[in-house]
Amino acid sequence: MSAADFEAFLARIYVDPEARAKFLADPRGEAQRAGLSEAECVALENIDRTGLELAATSFARKWAKQKDNHGKRVWLTRWLQRLDIKLKS
């Protein structure tokens, strides 16, 4: 397996609550099932659990904020478009 696979595994447990819960219940088993190397499995067995919990919460908040900002931009764009149509009519 490659370093890219290890990063993919990290990305999954950082953002997917279900994958993270399965991983925390059996870190070595999940790492082995993902085909990671022995050194990577050991690293994941010893993962900074407090850090994982806090980082995952922080990433989730960032995603929620980005979605909220995107929603506001779409609403504002549509509102400006409607205003433009009214001004022209």
Partner 1 sequence: MNDRFGLGWRPELSAGILTHLDQLDVVEVIADDYFSAPRQKIQALPTLATQVPVVLHGVTLGLASAVPVDRKRLENIARLVDAIQPEFWSEHLSFVRGGGIEIGHLAAPPRTASTIEGAANNLTAARAIVGTLPLVENVATLIDPPGNQYDEPTWIAEILSASGCDLLLDLHNLHANAVNFSFDPLAYLARLPSERIATVHLAGGRWIRGQSFTDRRLLDDHLHDVPEAVYELLIAVGERTTRPLTVILERDGHFPPIEQLLDQLTRARHALQIGRDRRAQHLNEQAA
In the bound complex, what is the minimum distance in angstroms from residue 65's beta carbon to partner 1? 9
Could you write out the DSSP letters of every residue in the chain?
--HHHHHHHHHHHHH-HHHHHHHHH-HHHHHHHTT--HHHHHHHHT--HHHHHHHHHHHHHHHHHHHHHHHHHHHHHHHHHHHHHHHH-
Select the residue interacting with partner 1 from 1, 38, 63, 84 (CB under 8 A).
63
Select the residue interacting with partner 1 from 1, 26, 59, 71 (CB under 8 A).
59
The verdict on 12 binding partner 1 (CB under 8 A) reads yes
Number of residues that bind partner 1 (CB under 8 A): 33
Select the residue interacting with partner 1 from 1, 66, 79, 83 (CB under 8 A).
66
In angstroms, the CA 37 to CA 31 distance is 8
Select the residue interacting with partner 1 from 26, 28, 35, 44 (CB under 8 A).
44
The verdict on 89 binding partner 1 (CB under 8 A) reads no
